[in-house]
């Protein structure tokens, strides 16, 4: 018997922290090295002409998968749990969104998309899908089971994002998925905010759960990656679509994704803790009207978060009491530890003004003052709060 093999627990019995560190690894298939090698690969050689004609090989071509891609897919699948039948890797989060939609829709179909969805997801519906003869209706993210009234005979997909990554509306995913299934449609979700560590999308009824791996899986602002996790019913069409479209991820980015995944649980805990500390501090400030952080008691959507989620990441927003725009910009420009950038999930803190004027069509976001979105990184939380204090002093001077 080899070391501890006989008593090794099944993956499904392991806790999330253990899954992210062990998932997809098989050191003794690689001379004992802890990490799966990075296969830079296109052509695959067969031993004989007979093998070639019989496709007698575990792998067939770089685009169709390597030990590196398999390791990352397996690790994510184990994290999602037994409801996940397959994982597809895509070159970006947006590619994951567009591919997931294409895998379930065809000409003549109808899709329902949350009005709070990531802006470029809307653009994909309004351009490529429209040209393909697929129509889109946007709906109020807070609609819940009321989505029933919007289902059409040709509705094949209901697309959700929870919380909305700019405005933090919490959607009732189990209720929406139930209605979708009853009408013969699939439920899609952008689960980038919580990821499978904090929201088990597939167990809650989602058929295709999308993540921008660029965010927390990467975790260091140095790669582009997207993932789609599929239920049994959605897996084959997803895999076929990815293959037919010729989509694959570069070996080094997959390796960075694997490296990021190993520390995902510990990083997310810190993002969550520091995020809540800063959110609570902001909630006490006289300049702040409200805090849009689903994990904060009393915040919009907190009840749904508490019912369905097991954690929160470091992304949330605040609404300031009304001040002139120049004071908001002075506040943001005064911050030295918060970068001015949109793509979050790295180790660094960010703060940007929330601007949704180009990505809303059936609801209005009028929170009562200017909104600012924060990503709380891994810096010392006391340093971050001191930076925000300086920002508020500059805001007061600029009013």
Residues that bind ligand PLP (CB under 6 A): 92-94, 118, 161, 165, 190, 192, 212, 214-215, 224, 226, 343
For ligand PLP, the nearest residue by Cβ is 93
Residues 125, 189: Cα–Cα separation, whole Å: 15
Give whichever of 210 and 330 is closer to ligand PLP, judged by the CB atom.
210
Q: Please tell me which residue in 190, 207, 253, 308 is annotated as part of the active site.
A: 190
Radius of gyration of the chain (CA): 22
Q: At its nearest, how many Å lie between ligand PLP and the CB of residue 159?
A: 11
Using a 10 angstrom Cβ sphere, with 0-12 exposed, 13-18 middle and 19 or more buried, the burial of residue 369 is middle
Q: At its nearest, how many Å lie between ligand PLP and the CB of residue 224?
A: 5
Q: At its nearest, how many Å lie between ligand PLP and the CB of residue 286?
A: 31
**Which tokens is 236 given?**
């084959």
Residue 131 known to be catalytic: no
How many Cβ atoms sit within 10 Å of the Cβ of residue 49? 8
Confirm if 202 and 183 have CB atoms less than 8 A apart: no
**Which tokens is 90 given?**
């895509």
How many Cβ atoms sit within 10 Å of the Cβ of residue 153? 7
CB-based contacts of 236, cutoff 8 Å, min separation 6: none
**Which tokens is 49 given?**
């002409």
Residues 389, 217: Cα–Cα separation, whole Å: 31
Give whichever of 331 and 344 is closer to ligand PLP, judged by the CB atom.
344
Give whichever of 338 and 344 is closer to ligand PLP, judged by the CB atom.
344
Q: At its nearest, how many Å lie between ligand PLP and the CB of residue 189?
A: 10
Residues 163, 284: Cα–Cα separation, whole Å: 23
Which residue, 343, 349, 386, 290, is CA-closest to 165?
343
108: left (phi over 0), alpha (psi -120 to 50) or beta: left
Q: Please tell me which residue in 25, 46, 59, 63 is annotated as part of the active site.
A: 63
Give whichever of 23 and 345 is closer to ligand PLP, judged by the CB atom.
345
**Which tokens is 63 given?**
């685009």
Q: At its nearest, how many Å lie between ligand PLP and the CB of residue 92?
A: 3
Residues 101, 202: Cα–Cα separation, whole Å: 16
Q: Please tell me which residue in 122, 200, 204, 215 is annotated as part of the active site.
A: 215
Give whichever of 92 and 274 is closer to ligand PLP, judged by the CB atom.
92
Q: At its nearest, how many Å lie between ligand PLP and the CB of residue 250?
A: 14
Query: CA 268 from chain center: how many Å?
Result: 13
Residue 63 known to be catalytic: yes
Give whichever of 193 and 331 is closer to ligand PLP, judged by the CB atom.
193
Residue 190 known to be catalytic: yes
Q: Please tell me which residue in 19, 118, 204, 253 is annotated as part of the active site.
A: 118
Give whichever of 68 and 92 is closer to ligand PLP, judged by the CB atom.
92
Residues 227, 95: Cα–Cα separation, whole Å: 9
151: left (phi over 0), alpha (psi -120 to 50) or beta: beta
Residue 126 known to be catalytic: no
Any idea which residues carry the catalytic annotation? 63, 118, 190, 215
């Amino acid at each position: 018997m080899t070391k501890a093999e006989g008593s090794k627990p099944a993956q499904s019995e392991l806790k999330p922290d253990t899954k992210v560190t062990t998932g997809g690894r098989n050191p003794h298939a690689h001379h004992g090295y802890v990490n799966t090698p990075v296969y830079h690969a296109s052509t695959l050689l067969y031993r004989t002409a007979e093998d070639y004609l019989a496709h007698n090989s575990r792998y067939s071509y770089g685009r169709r998968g390597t030990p590196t891609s398999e390791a990352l897919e397996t690790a994510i699948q184990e994290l999602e749990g037994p409801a996940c039948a397959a994982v597809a890797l895509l070159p970006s989060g947006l590619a994951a969104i567009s591919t997931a939609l294409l895998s379930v829709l065809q000409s003549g179909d109808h899709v329902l998309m949350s009005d709070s969805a990531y802006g470029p997801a809307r653009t994909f519906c309004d351009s490529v899908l429209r040209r393909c003869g697929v129509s889109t209706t946007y709906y109020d993210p807070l609609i819940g089971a009321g989505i029933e009234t919007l289902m059409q005979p040709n509705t094949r997909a209901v697309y959700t994002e929870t919380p909305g990554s700019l405005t933090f509306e919490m959607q009732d995913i189990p209720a929406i998925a139930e209605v979708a299934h009853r009408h013969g449609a699939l439920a899609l979700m952008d689960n980038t905010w919580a990821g499978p560590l904090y929201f088990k999308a597939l167990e809650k009824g989602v058929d295709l759960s999308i993540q921008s791996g660029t965010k927390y899986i990467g975790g260091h602002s140095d790669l582009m990656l997207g993932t789609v996790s599929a239920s049994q019913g959605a897996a084959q069409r997803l895999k076929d679509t990815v293959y037919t479209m010729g989509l694959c991820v570069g070996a080094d980015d997959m390796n960075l994704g694997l490296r990021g995944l190993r520390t995902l649980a510990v990083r997310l805990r810190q993002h969550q803790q520091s995020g809540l500390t800063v959110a609570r501090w902001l909630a006490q400030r006289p300049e702040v009207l409200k805090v849009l952080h689903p994990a904060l008691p009393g915040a919009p959507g907190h009840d749904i978060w508490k019912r369905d989620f097991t954690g929160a990441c470091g992304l949330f927003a605040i609404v300031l009491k009304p001040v002139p725009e120049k004071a908001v910009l002075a506040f943001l420009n005064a911050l030295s530890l918060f970068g001015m950038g949109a793509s979050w999930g790295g180790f660094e803190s960010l703060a940007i003004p929330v601007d949704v004027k180009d990505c809303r069509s059936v609801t209005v976001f009028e929170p009562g003052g200017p909104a600012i979105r924060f990503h709380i990184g891994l810096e010392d939380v006391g340093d971050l709060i001191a930076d925000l204090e300086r920002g508020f002093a500059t805001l007061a001077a600029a009013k």
